[in-house]
Amino acid sequence: MLLLNVIFTIILLQTCSYVSSRECSNCQLITSCQPLLFLINYKRDDETANRIIQAHCGYDEAKKEHMVCCSDFKSIKSESRIGAVQDKTSLLPESCGDIDGYRIVGGNVAGLYEFPWMALISYNDTTGIDFKCSGSIINSRYILTAAHCIQDTIIGVRVGEHDISTSEDCYQNMCETHIQDIPIDKITTHPKWNFQKRINDIALIRVAEEINLTPANVQPICLPLNPNLQNEDLIGKNAVVSGWGLIETSEASTVLLKVTVPIVVCVNKTRTQICAGERFRDSCRGDSGGPLMLEDEYGDTMRFVQFGIVSYGTRFKCGSSTPGTYTDVRKYVDWILETIEP
């Protein structure tokens, strides 16, 4: 389904008979040019229309889509927010959310390479180091998590983990040892985070050194940057949550687990929250801060995109008939881009 701002662009190009195609080194599909998508999402005016016409560089017959010189939009310096948002998109990797790893179909144990963006947040505890929350890798310096996970003293993050109880993770004749424990540089919670109301439950952790994204078990997840993802109706779709949270026995799992949850209509929640889950299918304590993700079209391929962050669930029992509540990442894309640094 075509997003609204792409429709705007296509109609513009198709109704202007004088549009010509120029040559450039980075001629891309409209849907693959993130700076353009951001621009027309926030600034749909004559100036933007003229820029699109001037950037036209061809038409992809196979995909029935116009193409533009994407570099024409990467240098746009508009007032405040547009410039800030555009400039920061380059800090997020184009390669993300890979779904080609070794996957388990059915069951609740994640594969070694199924969710390589998962991060564990480590805390000082009376008995030593403890992992109480999760997060997701969004680039080599940042972990996205929930603000309520920042209440205690964080000492670092661990990436590349699968089974906390072993130093080497093995499954189906495959073994992995690329675990990285990285100290914290800075933590930023959303300025309007409210613990009592559990709203704006989102935070960014900047690690003190770059995460090595070379191993197959350490990769970033995609964020819903494009307006088509931000405007997508998720109700009725199935999402995936992964984490090391409590299981049916009320014990924390040492192995990374996954669960598929249906996204449902929220009752008495804000527009910045997503509700998902049903009886016996839910996230639980210890999954906090982890991603709610869907396989979706990202650019010209299918990727895992993070739409939510595990925030909180029922007060009584995980997996009850009351769905869990997730922070809607789509509503905070601007804040993420404005916050991250090189």
Q: Which residues are catalytic?
A: 148, 201, 288
Q: Look at the block and give the residue holding tokens 């026995």.
A: 249
Taking a C-beta distance cutoff of 8 angstroms, is the pair 258, 240 a contact? yes
Place of tokens 């997730």: 326
Q: Helix or strand or coil: residue 32?
A: helix
CB 307 within 8 A of CB 292: yes
Three-state secondary-structure class, residue 34: helix
Residue 39 token pair: 């621009």
Residues 32-55 as b or e (16 or more Cβ within 10 Å = b): bbbbbbbbbbbeeeeebbebbbeb
Task: List Cβ neighbours of 288 (8 Å cut-off, separation of 6 or more).
Answer: 132, 133, 134, 146, 148, 149, 243, 245, 310, 311, 312
- Cα distance between residue 311 and residue 216, in whole Å: 28
Q: How many CA atoms lie within 13 A of 24 on its CB side?
A: 19
Q: Distance between CA 44 and CA 8 in Å, rounded?
A: 8
